[in-house]
Structure 1
Amino acid sequence: MASSHPLSASSLFSLKGWVTVVTGGGTGVGLMTAQTLAANGAKVYITGRRFDVLETSARVHGSPERLGPLGGSIVPIEMDITSKDSIRGVVAEITQKEGFVNVLVNNAGVWAGRPTATAEDGPEAFSEALLAESNEDNWQKSFNVNCTSQYFVTAAFLPLLAKAASGPTGKVGSVINNGSVSGLLRMTQNRQFSYNASKAAFLHLTRQMALELSHEKINVRVNGLALGYFPSEMTTGDSNDENESVASDEQFAAFMKGMGAERVKRMGTPQELASVILTLATNDFIWGTISIVDGGMTLTVPANM
Structure 2
Amino acid sequence: MTSPHPLSAASLFSLKDYVAVVTGGGTGLGLMIAQTLAANGAKVYITGRRADVLETSARVHGSKERLGPDGGSMVPLVMDVTSKDSIRKAVAEISDKENYVNVLVNNAGIWAGRPEKKPQDGPEAFSEAILQDEKVENWHRAFDVNCLAAYFVTAAFLPLLAKAVSGPTGKIGNVVNNSSMAGFMRMSQGCQFSYNVTKAAVSHLTRQMAYEFSHKEINVRVNGLALGYFATEMTTGESNTENESTPDDEKFAGFLANMGCTKVNRFGTPQEAASILLTVVTNEFMWGTISIVDGGFVLTLPGNM
TM-score bracket relative to the smaller structure: over 0.9
Report the more deviating stretch, 230-239 or 141-150: 141-150
Q: 1:114 Cα deviation (Å)?
A: 0.2
Distance of 1:101 and 1:40 partners within structure 2: 16
Equivalent residue, structure 2, for 1:98: 98
Cα deviations by residue, 1:102-131 (Å, 9 ceiling, x for unpaired): 000000000010011111111111111112
Distance of 1:254 and 1:48 partners within structure 2: 32
Equivalent residue, structure 1, for 2:15: 15
Q: Does residue 295 of structure 1 match 2:295? A: yes
Contact 2:60 2:242 in 1 (8 A): yes
Distance of 2:100 and 2:226 partners within structure 1: 27
Aligned length: 305
Cα deviations by residue, 1:192-224 (Å, 9 ceiling, x for unpaired): 001000000010000100000000100000000
Equivalent residue, structure 1, for 2:52: 52
Contact 1:112 1:137 in 2 (8 A): no
Equivalent residue, structure 2, for 1:273: 273
Q: 1:137 Cα deviation (Å)?
A: 3.1
Q: 1:302 Cα deviation (Å)?
A: 4.4
Contact 2:252 2:265 in 1 (8 A): yes
Distance of 1:299 and 1:191 partners within structure 2: 20
Contact 1:24 1:108 in 2 (8 A): yes
Contact 1:176 1:223 in 2 (8 A): yes
| 1:214 to 1:303, Cα distance in 2 relative to 1, 3 A | farther
Q: 1:135 Cα deviation (Å)?
A: 3.9
In angstroms, what is the RMSD of aligned CA positions? 0.9
Distance of 1:36 and 1:90 partners within structure 2: 22
Distance of 1:74 and 1:134 partners within structure 2: 37
Distance of 1:254 and 1:101 partners within structure 2: 42
Letter of the structure 2 residue corresponding to residue 96 of structure 1:
D
Equivalent residue, structure 2, for 1:222: 222
Letter of the structure 2 residue corresponding to residue 280 of structure 1:
V
Equivalent residue, structure 2, for 1:263: 263
Cα deviations by residue, 1:220-276 (Å, 9 ceiling, x for unpaired): 000001100000000000000110001111001001111111000000000000001
Mapping for residues 143-222 of structure 1, pairs under 5 Å: 143-222=143-222
Over 4 Å off, 4+ runs: none
Mapping for residues 30-109 of structure 1, pairs under 5 Å: 30-109=30-109
Q: Say which SS state the counterpart of residue 151 (structure 2) adopts.
A: helix
Give me the TM-score of the superposition, normalised by structure 2: 0.98
Q: 1:304 Cα deviation (Å)?
A: 4.4
Structure 2 unaligned segments of length 5 or more: list them. Answer: none
Report the more deviating stretch, 295-304 or 159-168: 295-304
Q: 1:136 Cα deviation (Å)?
A: 3.6
Q: Say which SS state the counterpart of residue 34 (structure 2) adopts.
A: helix
Structure 1 unaligned segments of length 5 or more: list them. Answer: none
Equivalent residue, structure 2, for 1:285: 285
Q: 1:6 Cα deviation (Å)?
A: 0.6
Contact 2:34 2:74 in 1 (8 A): yes
Q: Say which SS state the counterpart of residue 231 (structure 1) adopts.
A: coil
Distance of 1:95 and 1:136 partners within structure 2: 37
Cα deviations by residue, 1:22-69 (Å, 9 ceiling, x for unpaired): 000000000000000000000000000001000000000000000000
Distance of 2:189 and 2:225 partners within structure 1: 19
Distance of 2:303 and 2:61 partners within structure 1: 36
Q: Does residue 244 of structure 1 match 2:249? A: no
Report the more deviating stretch, 126-135 or 111-120: 126-135
Identity of aligned residues (%): 71
